[in-house]
Amino acid sequence: MNRTYFPEGTQGALEWNGTLVCYTIELPWLGNRKRISCIPEGEYILQKRFSPKFQWHLHLKNVPGRDLILIHPANDAKTELLGCIATVTLHTGIGKGSFSRKALEKLKALVYKALVYNEEVKIKIQSNPSTPLRMIRLKTSKEIMNIVERAKAPTPKFFRVLRSIGLALLTISGSIIAAPVTLPVVFVSIAGYAALAGGVISVISQITVDDEANREQAIINRLKKDNQYLPRDGIK
């Protein structure tokens, strides 16, 4: 299975002996965090599994740090998956697809037939060479945020100090410019430059984002909103 990573989700193409069987959708890669991230790349043994919700489907054994990761039908990774893989016939968007059950039946026919003959069936999950995982990870936090989101996001400690310095410069220079007495032109000019510098420093510091803190907060918010009452890792 070849993956293509995006900030909103993960697309895949699943082949059997070099022939395309179906496409896949998953959650985005978020460091293998339970319930919000797709699973790590690697080879996993497949086995049959039955549940009242999904009927007959597939289970990936021994996924590091995860529990009960399945291949089951779903058409929207964000609302229907907690780390599992969903088969789809067509991709309709990032993390979205159509005719999921039809795709799963096609995959099951191949896997179950091999299992009947006691063959070991494995799925190999790997990156699409044109979109390596490390390239996508560098983009997720910095490139999808607008100015308002940056202004509201956590600021690194160093830039908080710079912001305080900038505000102090603005305050001092403003007092000099607005002084009720006549001051030498050189002092007023210096105060004007200081005000400009203080404003620039304050703005830049305010929109500089602590990516790690922002990512962690987003994860916490999503966990609280979407997954508070869900007992297992791979089932939604």
The per-residue pLDDT for range 147-170, each reduced to its tens digit, is 555 555 566 666 677 677 867 776
Please say whether the dihedral angle defined by the alpha carbons of residues 169, 172, 178 and 179, taken in this order, is positive or negative.
negative
From the list 77, 89, 109, 119, the residue with the least C-alpha distance to 236 is 77
pTM for this structure? 0.59
The per-residue pLDDT for range 68-118, each reduced to its tens digit, is 999 999 999 999 999 999 999 999 999 999 999 999 999 999 999 999 999
The per-residue pLDDT for range 24-71, each reduced to its tens digit, is 999 999 999 999 999 999 999 999 999 999 999 999 999 999 999 999
5 pLDDT band, cuts 50/70/90, is very high
Distances (CA, A) of 146 to 21, 115, 134, 162: 39, 50, 22, 22
From the list 28, 71, 30, 23, the residue with the least C-alpha distance to 48 is 71
